């Protein structure tokens, strides 16, 4: 899978880092930082959850 | 393979909650038919950007779409738009629209909420509301070239609109029947902070007043208020909340007092579920049934209902969560701040305009707010998990 994040849309709610902390982090302003953009498929379920919970819809997932 | 032979799930309402239910059903392995019925003539879209990115002109309308057309197609839904549900007959297990009858095995009510209008202003061309994408685009167009506006309602939506109007250099007056601005779930703790932002940006505030009359002419709109004063603007934006869309359920036998009453799994009656703005779920954490009009609740409830129908498994309860951006301040709120308990500052400092604060009652953290401190807010969320 491949993940893209839109830092212009990100509002720093941190939902992604909460459910998938090994893939998403936040910078000092709270905006999303991708730790890896191609995680293994083991993470598919949590990444999907992060995508759906993101209140700003700033995460795109290509499976 | 999706089986089309059985009635499967019918979802009434094709906005965020309804679509999330469909996504969750498929993600959890549901293989029967899913019928999604929407009254609005749009693909499902996100509402939070309407008062933020769309109103400011930063985003085009299509950027609010929740799913690409391809992703949507992968769900293999029977999707009908422009169909408004009129009747629910639980004993016959069917939903009727004007034109059709839909039989269901399980029904999800996700009809959302409609904007509350100010009486006697429904047909006034200078009066705007902000609920749908069409509302947002209409308001954005109406802002071009104007210099003054009146906002009715100093809640979170009204405050976001006022903030956007200030960014456009529009002189704004705000009217509210309450004594101060009200952010939801914050127990009044942010009333003066939000009011200070208004005053700092030259917004004229009229609190604790009722509207006596409204009139419009070729130059503007005038509100006569209960304190004897009157305010005028070139347009008005009415942001006084929403009403759950439950009229079609009037004879269904369901409890629809301020939304469809559900247990903590979203069950309103056997095989009948509700999610999103229309639903009032019992929250086992607070032991109260609350109707929450925010995006995160719609998503969490949609995920939970889809999983429950597909697998029979319950999802853990969630605290209410919302975010806002007012005059560039990023506000994140989890749980309920209690009125009458002083805030405990967890990180930062209110005087620096960056802090995380909580209300703690008998050792239990009931709510956490982050003000321009998103990362520390997230780190503090564990306080709520005790």
Query: Cβ–Cβ of A18/B378 closer than 8 Å?
Result: yes
| Interface test with chain B among A14, A19, A49, by most B beta carbons within 10 Å | A14
What is the pLDDT of chain B when averaged over all its residues? 94
CA distance B118 to B238: 7
Cβ atoms of residues A34 and A5 within 8 Å: yes
Q: Which residue of B has its CA nearest to A17?
A: B378
In this prediction, residues B309-332 reach a mean pLDDT of 93
Least confident of A3-7, A23-27, B39-43: B39-43
The pLDDT value given to residue B328: 92
Give me the pLDDT at residue B386, please.
54
Dump pLDDT digits (tens) for B152-168: 999 999 999 999 999 99
Residues of B in contact with A49 (CB under 8 A): 303
Mutate to test the interface with B, among A19, A57, A62 (most CBs of B within 10 A): A57
Confidence (pLDDT) at B1:
66
Give B255's pLDDT tier (boundaries 50, 70, 90): very high
pLDDT band, very low/low/confident/very high, at B270 (cuts 50, 70, 90): very high
CB contact under 8 A, B323 and A13: yes
Query: B300 Cβ partners below 8 Å, 6+ apart?
Result: A53, B315, B318
For the segment B50-78, what is each residue's pLDDT rounded down to a tens digit?
Answer: 998 899 888 888 888 877 777 788 999 99
The 10s digit of each residue's pLDDT in B273-307 is 999 999 999 988 888 899 999 888 999 999 999 99
For Cα atoms B341, B347, B349, give the angle at the middle one, nearest 5 degrees: 80
Question: Mean pLDDT over residues B100-115, rounded?
Answer: 97
Identify the residue among A4, A8, A10, A13 best suited for mutation to test binding to B, counting B beta carbons within 10 A and taking the highest. A13
Question: How far apart are the C-alpha atoms of B5 and A54, rounded to whole Å?
Answer: 35
> Which pLDDT band holds residue B43 (cuts at 50, 70, 90)?
confident
Say if residue A49's pLDDT is above 80: yes
The yes-or-no verdict on residue B174 having pLDDT over 90 is yes
Question: Has residue A20 got a pLDDT over 60?
Answer: yes
Region A20-35 average pLDDT: 92
Closest residue to A55, CB basis, from B20, B296, B378: B296
Nearest CA in chain B to A13: B374
Q: Which domains does chain B have, with CATH numbers?
A: 9-49+64-114+243-311 (3.50.50.60), 117-240 (3.50.50.60), 337-385 (no CATH)
- Asked if B49 and B59 count as a contact pair (C-beta separation under 8 A), the reply is yes
Q: What are phi and psi of B344, to 5 degrees?
A: -95, 125
pLDDT band at B146 (very low <50, low <70, confident <90, very high): very high
Mean pLDDT value of segment B104-122: 96
* Contacts of B19 by beta carbon, 8 Å cutoff, 6+ apart: B36, B44, B66, B67, B302
Task: Provide the shortest C-alpha distance from residue B141 to chain A (in Å).
Answer: 22
The residue-averaged pLDDT of B199-211 equals: 98
**Percent of chain B residues past pLDDT 90, beyond the cut:** 81
How far from B246 is each of B196, B256, B358, CA to CA, in Å? Answer: 38, 7, 35
- Once rounded to an integer, what is the mean pLDDT over residues B94-114? 96
Cα–Cα distance for residue pair B44/B137, rounded to 1 Å: 16
Torsion sign (Cα): B126, B130, B131, B137: positive
**Domains, chain A, ordered by start:** 2-62 (3.30.70.20)
> Which tokens go with B88?
């629910």
User: CA of B333: which chain A residue's CA is closest?
Assistant: A13
Give percent of chain B with pLDDT exceeding 70.
Answer: 99
Question: What is the rounded CA–CA span in Å between residue B91 and residue A25?
Answer: 50
- DSSP 3-state of B193: helix
Is residue B41 over pLDDT 80? Answer: no
């Amino acid at each position: 899978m491949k993940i893209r994040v839109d830092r212009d849309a990100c509002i720093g709610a941190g939902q992604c880092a909460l459910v998938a902390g090994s893939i998403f982090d936040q910078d000092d302003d709270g905006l999303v930082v991708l730790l890896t953009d191609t995680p293994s498929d083991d993470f598919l379920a949590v990444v999907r959850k992060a995508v759906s919970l993101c209140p700003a819809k700033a995460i795109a997932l290509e499976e | 393979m999706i089986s089309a032979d059985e009635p499967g799930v019918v979802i009434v309402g094709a906005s965020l909650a309804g679509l999330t239910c469909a996504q969750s059903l498929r993600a959890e392995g549901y293989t029967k038919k899913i019928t999604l019925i929407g009254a609005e003539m749009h693909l499902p879209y996100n509402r939070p950007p309407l008062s933020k990115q769309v109103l400011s002109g930063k985003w085009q309308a299509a950027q609010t779409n929740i799913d690409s057309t391809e992703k949507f197609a992968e769900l293999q839904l029977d999707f009908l738009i422009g169909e408004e549900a009129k009747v629910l007959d639980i004993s016959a297990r069917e939903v009727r629209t004007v034109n059709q009858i839909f039989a269901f095995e399980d029904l999800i009510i996700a009809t959302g909420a409609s904007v509350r209008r100010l009486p006697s202003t429904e047909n006034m061309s200078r009066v705007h509301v902000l609920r749908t994408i069409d509302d947002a685009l209409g308001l954005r167009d109406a802002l071009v070239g104007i210099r003054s506006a009146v906002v009715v309602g100093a809640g979170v939506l009204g405050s976001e609109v006022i903030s956007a109007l200030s960014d456009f250099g529009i002189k704004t007056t705000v009217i509210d029947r309450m004594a101060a601005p009200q952010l939801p779930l914050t127990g009044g703790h942010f009333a003066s902070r939000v009011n200070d932002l208004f005053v700092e940006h030259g917004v004229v505030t009229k609190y604790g007043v009722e509207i006596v009359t409204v009139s419009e002419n070729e130059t503007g709109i005038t509100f006569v208020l209960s304190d004897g004063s009157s305010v005028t603007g070139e347009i008005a934006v009415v942001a006084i909340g929403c009403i759950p869309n439950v009229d079609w359920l009037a004879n269904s036998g369901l409890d629809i007092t301020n939304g469809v009453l559900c247990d903590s799994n979203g069950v309103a009656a056997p095989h009948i579920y509700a999610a999103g703005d229309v639903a009032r779920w019992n929250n086992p954490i607070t032991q109260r049934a609350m109707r929450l009009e925010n995006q995160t609740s719609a998503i969490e409830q949609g995920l939970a209902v889809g999983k429950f129908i597909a697998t029979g498994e319950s999802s853990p309860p969630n605290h209410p969560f919302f975010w806002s951006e007012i005059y560039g301040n990023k506000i994140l709120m989890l749980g309920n701040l209690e009125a009458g308990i002083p805030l405990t500052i967890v990180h930062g400092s209110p005087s620096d305009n960056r802090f995380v604060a909580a209300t703690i009652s008998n050792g239990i953290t009931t709510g956490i707010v982050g003000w321009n401190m998103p990362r520390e807010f997230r780190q503090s969320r564990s306080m709520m998990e005790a």
